[in-house]
Structure 1
Amino acid sequence: MNNRVKHVGYGDRTPYLGAAGAQTLRERIDGQIDRQIKQWYATVPEAAHLEGKKVDSHYYQRHLIETAWRIRLLRVSEAKALAEIAKVSPEAAQIWAHYEQEEMLHDELFIQDLQRAGVSRERFLATEPYLSTKLLSGFFSYLLDHEGPLGVVAYSYLVEYVNVKLEPRKLDALKGSVGAGNIAGQVSHSHTDVNDDHPGEVWAALRFLIKNDDDIVSLERYLAEHQRILAMYFTELYQDTLAEKHGQAA
């Protein structure tokens, strides 16, 4: 009689890609993200606004509000992803659980910076997230229900790679425009990403979730899709805070 138990991550748990193959793929994926970053700066309105010398206070505050909401909404889907990851790879699940344990409460870091910027917790709670943030959360739910956890983990690799590469530059600029003492939460968040090597940690989970060449194709597609939704958010943020000042309100 065959054992009917399935989806518990047993069987051949050897990664599809060996160490050299995984490194080659990571370099390829990083190259894709680098190209997406260039496209981002070229096409997203005010993409480098927070890196400038004069930061609009409304734009800055609203971005912190949305970042905190994004963490709060996505951590629900990311927690659900742990069960789906465990069905595929217990090794990936262990890595993902550790990563989420470090990231889970980082919304409070951004809320603390919001309070330093003059935005109360009550005002934060009264501000509804943008449609783009709701769509991103919904996309995560769709992926877990219909395609699997790979796309959810891919999102974290995208944002961790970009954060480690670009966040130090943005924080240096914000020290001048907002004040070093007012961005302590964001600095702490960035410190965790860099010093705990979150891109490397998430990549280690991805390696266990990639089972064949089709998964590699899907990974590349997920990164592009996530970038499109994030671009929707920054366009929405621009329209809400800066477009009217620039005479470009929709």
Structure 2
Amino acid sequence: MSTTAVELKFPTREEFEALAKQEMEKMFDKVPYAREFNMGQAIDQEYYKRHLMETIIRIGLNNEVDSYSLYKIGYKDNLLAQKLAQYLAEEFGHDSLFLHDLKKFGVSEAELRATKPFFTTEMLIGYIYYSINQDGPIPTMVWNWFVEWYSDNYNKNITQKAGEVYGKEKTKGMQGHLDVDDDEDHVGLMFGTIVAAMKVEGDGEKAQQYLKNFINLIGMYFQELYDNTIGARA
């Protein structure tokens, strides 16, 4: 008697992108100024400057959590480990690109290093560590894919607006980061890691739930960013 293997069906890249757009729209509806900023419709110098600072801080923390995920994968999945290691190698040093722009706004590296992360950033990074210990590599891959997808869909708008208002010299680093991501197709690379991480029934739903959770946390970040800049002045 022969048995027929059940073909597992996981969400496609198009389905992930549709879900990400849907959740981002929900976030934009709730958080002041987030839509205008991310769509390149408006920009505020203190808001943008603090956003650059937090981006650099988060890059460093994210590299650490990616390294932890790579350690946890170990030799259990060589293909997935190879893809994550490739991504890490290509991402290390990108914080220096953002620092170039930040210095143009009068923020020194010493001032940046003395700046404590927002509480929402600490929550995000802590949640990723917790999730890796609970569910293995899936949360890391979903988060990294979202970071690259977000950059591709929104950082271009932000950079263009900043260049128009503050001058191209103050956006060279951000533009350089965007160019590297385009050349190396980080959105495609990281979706490949999600595909590789989904192994059993239920993993697709788990990955989608993580995407929703991460976008919810990003919404909390943009609220804290607003409260500490534009909101504080009001």
Q: TM-score, normalised by structure 1?
A: 0.85
Equivalent-residue separation in structure 2 for 1:189 and 1:173 (angstroms): 16
Q: Which residue matches 2:62?
A: 74
Q: Which residue matches 1:7?
A: none
Q: Which residue matches 2:27?
A: 40
Q: Which residue matches 2:163?
A: 175
C-alpha contact (below 8 Å) 2:27/2:216 kept by paired residues? no
Which residue, out of 57, 70, 78, partners 1:90? 78
Determine whether 1:161 maps to 2:160. no
Which residue, out of 72, 75, 97, partners 1:109? 97
- How many pairs are equivalent? 226
Which residue, out of 215, 219, 230, partners 1:227? 215
Q: Which amino acid aligns with 1:102?
A: E
Equivalent-residue separation in structure 2 for 1:194 and 1:44 (angstroms): 29
Identical aligned pairs, as a percentage?
A: 28
Q: Cα distance, 1:132 vs. partner?
A: 0.6
Q: Cα distance, 1:169 vs. partner?
A: 2.0
Q: Which residue matches 2:231?
A: 243
Q: Which runs of 5+ in 2 are unaligned?
A: 1-6
C-alpha contact (below 8 Å) 2:24/2:215 kept by paired residues? no
Q: Which amino acid aligns with 1:148?
A: G
CA deviations on 1:208-246 (whole Å, 9 max, x unpaired) are 11112311010000000101111111100100000133x
Q: Which residue matches 2:13?
A: 26
C-alpha contact (below 8 Å) 1:86/1:92 kept by paired residues? no
Q: Which residue matches 1:52?
A: 41
3-state SS of paired residue (2:231): coil
Determine whether 1:132 maps to 2:101. no
C-alpha contact (below 8 Å) 2:47/2:226 kept by paired residues? yes
Q: TM-score, normalised by structure 2?
A: 0.90
Equivalent-residue separation in structure 1 for 2:138 and 2:183 (angstroms): 25
Q: Which amino acid aligns with 2:26?
A: Q
C-alpha contact (below 8 Å) 1:66/1:129 kept by paired residues? yes
CA deviations on 1:136-159 (whole Å, 9 max, x unpaired) are 111121112222111011001112
CA deviations on 1:81-125 (whole Å, 9 max, x unpaired) are 112234442111111111111112211111111101111111111
3-state SS of paired residue (1:243): helix
Equivalent-residue separation in structure 2 for 1:232 and 1:36 (angstroms): 13
Q: Which runs of 5+ in 1 are unaligned?
A: 1-15
3-state SS of paired residue (1:127): coil
C-alpha contact (below 8 Å) 2:37/2:158 kept by paired residues? no
Q: Which amino acid aligns with 2:19?
A: Q
Q: Which amino acid aligns with 1:181?
A: E
Equivalent-residue separation in structure 2 for 1:49 and 1:31 (angstroms): 21
